[in-house]
């Protein structure tokens, strides 16, 4: 299935007529506004802080840390770019493992006594870059994302070393799991809870204002949410499946008073997909699918009942910062990061990527509508390309979301938020066209970055490797 490329759309009217032809809800503003009183330039109150505007940098990992879990120059450059972006909310920086077996790759950052100083210095680098560019940092909120990669852990090499919440009928065979040996026991999870709390204490020491207890993208926290048939203290009922979060939150409150907590959560999920005929994505199994948190049981539909219950729980725990996302980059990337070009381990989009953007934005709006007291940050906007600002502005103006999260776009066009708020002309050459090289590279053991558009990555020897890799994958 081929879908028209978005860069052929030159006017708001043409965008609207495309949306209409797709039969989806994705409203857009006619004019992009700038300045501190504009919808995207306006501040956002959180606790006793006025967050300076409505842009948020989403966590973006680069597979480029040292083996000991500290950052490299490439990591630092990315964090400095987060600083010059102009966004006043930094959601997590990137996924940081709470212990060695939880790393998603051998080069993922890791929090422990010996890395805490280096992880603090990333925050300071970001602050310095922001100060130099904007001359103001007291309206900037910076958190750190804490994770265990669970089923998708690759702590030592490209080989997956999964640790799981439950036996999964579709995903277990993909990672050659044939018995219960990869399951975390309840006692092991008690220990993992402690690891999250210790990492949070260190994050506070490193000056981060909040930690994100990651519950998205198929990683461990997210997988637990669909552990409907997991027995014991961490599965089964809603209370059981959220026990992990509740224990971590209670531990952080006790041991790191004053540290704020946020949660990035996949608010809905679908069945895993696989390449079908002509590599177009198709569901990996037929019939009902019971393991989608926020799913309706069909494998491809949404039911936010439990997601709303989860939001109520966050409020009960005194957590107001929520970053919404969906699905997983490993098993259904089209609902998570809509793209016209798939990464090397992906499949051709089974739907116009605009449908994926609208699905995430509309589910996020439903969350914000029922939970107006939460600070809700949305994701999945990069596919909107030239129209990201116009669509994001409409969503914020309507109160459908509090802050527009920027993921891939920050790799290709770091200062897009600053350009919008300052009313500068758009730098079209830097707009992310969802080529997916930033995912293809790490899937093949190469550091992540925007090889097609960022001159720094373009000139690296790895750029040629990525090109050759893509050529070799062409049918
Ligand atoms: C290269 C790359 C690295 C990412 N790293 C993380 C991460 O560390 N933590 C996380 O929660 N999401 C991560 N994501 C997902 C993004 O935060 C975001 O949800 C996704 O890219 C969709 O937003 P976008 O359309 O603006 O790109 C990553 C995505 C990409 C492409
Ligand atoms: S490689 Fe660059 S253009 Fe491609 S998806 Fe990533 S950020 Fe966007």
| DSSP annotation string for 180-238 | GGGBPPHHHHHHHHHHHHHHHHHHHHTT-SEEEE-B-TTSHHHHHHT-TT--STTSSSH
Q: Which ligand 1 atom is at minimum distance from the Cα of 381?
A: 25
Counting ligands in written order, which one lies closest to the CA of residue 337? 1
Which residue out of 5, 433, 462 has the highest number of ligand 2 atoms within 8 Å of its CB and is therefore the one to mutate?
433
Record the tokens describing residue 230, joined without a space. 């997991």
pLDDT in 10s for each residue of the chain, 475 residues: 689 999 999 999 999 999 999 999 999 999 999 999 999 999 999 999 999 999 999 999 999 999 999 999 999 999 999 999 999 999 999 999 999 999 999 999 999 999 999 999 999 999 999 999 999 999 999 999 999 999 999 999 999 999 999 999 999 999 999 999 999 999 999 999 999 999 999 999 999 999 999 999 999 999 999 999 999 999 999 999 999 999 999 999 999 999 999 999 999 999 999 999 989 999 999 999 999 999 999 999 999 999 999 999 999 999 999 999 999 999 999 999 999 999 988 999 999 999 999 999 999 999 999 999 999 999 999 999 999 999 999 999 999 999 999 999 999 999 999 999 999 999 999 999 999 999 999 999 999 999 999 999 999 999 999 999 888 877 6
Q: What predicted TM-score, i.e. pTM, was given to this entire model? A: 0.98
**Residue 212 near ligand 1, beta carbon < 6 Å:** no
Record the tokens describing residue 236, joined without a space. 């089964």
**Residue 60 near ligand 1, beta carbon < 6 Å:** yes
Q: Which residue has the tokens 């006692």?
A: 187
Task: Report the run of H or E that residue 315 belongs to, with start and end.
Answer: helix 305-316
Using an 8 Å Cβ cutoff, are 28 and 391 in contact? yes
pLDDT tens sequence across 273-287: 999 998 999 999 999
184: left (phi over 0), alpha (psi -120 to 50) or beta: beta
pLDDT tens sequence across 285-304: 999 999 999 999 999 999 99
Residue 407 CA to ligand 2 center (angstroms) comes to: 10
Counting ligands in written order, which one lies closest to the CA of residue 404? 1
Distance CA 446, CA 422 (A): 35
pLDDT tens sequence across 407-419: 999 999 999 999 9
Residue 473 CA to ligand 1 center (angstroms) comes to: 23
> Which residue's CA is the nearest one to ligand 1's atom 10?
59
Our CA dihedral for 356, 268, 88, 355, rounded to 10 degrees, sits at 10
Distance CA 215, CA 105 (A): 18
Residue 95 CA to ligand 2 center (angstroms) comes to: 19
Counting ligands in written order, which one lies closest to the CA of residue 437? 2
Record the tokens describing residue 267, joined without a space. 């608010």
279: left (phi over 0), alpha (psi -120 to 50) or beta: left
**Residue 325 near ligand 1, beta carbon < 6 Å:** yes
């Amino acid at each position: 299935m081929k879908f028209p490329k978005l860069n052929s759309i030159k006017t708001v009217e043409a965008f609207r007529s495309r949306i209409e032809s797709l039969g989806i809800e994705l409203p857009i503003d006619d004019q992009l506004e700038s300045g501190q009183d504009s919808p995207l330039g306006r501040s956002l109150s959180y606790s006793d802080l006025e967050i300076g505007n409505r842009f948020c940098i989403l966590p973006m990992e680069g597979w480029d840390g040292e083996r000991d879990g500290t950052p490299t120059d490439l990591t630092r450059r990315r964090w400095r770019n987060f600083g010059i972006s102009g966004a006043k909310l930094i959601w997590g920086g990137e996924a940081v493992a709470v212990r060695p077996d939880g790393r998603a790759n051998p080069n993922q950052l890791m929090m422990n006594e010996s890395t805490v100083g280096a992880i603090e210095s990333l925050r300071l680098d970001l602050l310095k870059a922001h100060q130099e560019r904007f001359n103001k940092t007291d309206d900037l909120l910076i958190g750190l994302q804490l994770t265990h990669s669970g089923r998708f852990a690759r702590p030592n090499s490209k080989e997956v070393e999964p640790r799981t919440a439950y036996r999964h009928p579709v995903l277990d065979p993909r990672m050659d799991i044939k018995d219960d040996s990869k399951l975390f026991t309840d006692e092991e999870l008690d220990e993992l809870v402690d690891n999250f709390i210790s990492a949070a204490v260190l994050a506070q020491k490193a000056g981060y204002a909040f930690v994100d207890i990651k519950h998205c993208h198929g990683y461990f926290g997210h997988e637990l949410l669909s552990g409907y048939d997991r027995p014991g203290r961490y599965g089964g009922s809603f209370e059981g499946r959220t026990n992990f979060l509740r224990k971590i939150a209670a531990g952080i409150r006790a041991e790191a008073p004053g540290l704020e907590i946020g949660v990035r959560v996949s608010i809905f999920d679908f069945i895993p997909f696989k390449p079908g005929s002509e590599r177009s994505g198709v569901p990996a199994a037929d019939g009902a699918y019971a393991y989608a948190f926020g799913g309706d049981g069909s494998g491809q539909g949404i039911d936010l009942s439990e997601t709303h219950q989860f939001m109520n729980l966050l409020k009960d725990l005194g957590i107001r910062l929520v970053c919404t996302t969906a699905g997983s980059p490993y098993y259904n990337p089209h609902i998570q990061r809509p793209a016209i070009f798939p990464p090397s381990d992906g499949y051709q989009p089974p739907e116009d990527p605009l449908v994926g953007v609208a699905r995430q934005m509309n589910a996020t709006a439903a969350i914000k509508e029922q939970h107006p007291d939460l600070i809700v940050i949305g994701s999945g906007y990069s596919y909107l390309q030239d129209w990201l600002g116009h669509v994001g502005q409409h969503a914020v103006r309507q109160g459908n979301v509090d802050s527009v999260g920027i993921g891939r776009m920050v790799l290709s066009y770091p200062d897009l938020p600053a350009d919008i708020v300052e009313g500068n002309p758009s730098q079209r050459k830097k707009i992310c066209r969802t080529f997916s090289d930033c995912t293809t590279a790490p899937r093949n053991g190469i550091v992540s970055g925007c090889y097609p558009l960022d001159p720094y990555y373009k000139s690296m020897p790895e750029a040629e490797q990525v090109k050759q890799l893509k050529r070799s994958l062409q049918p």
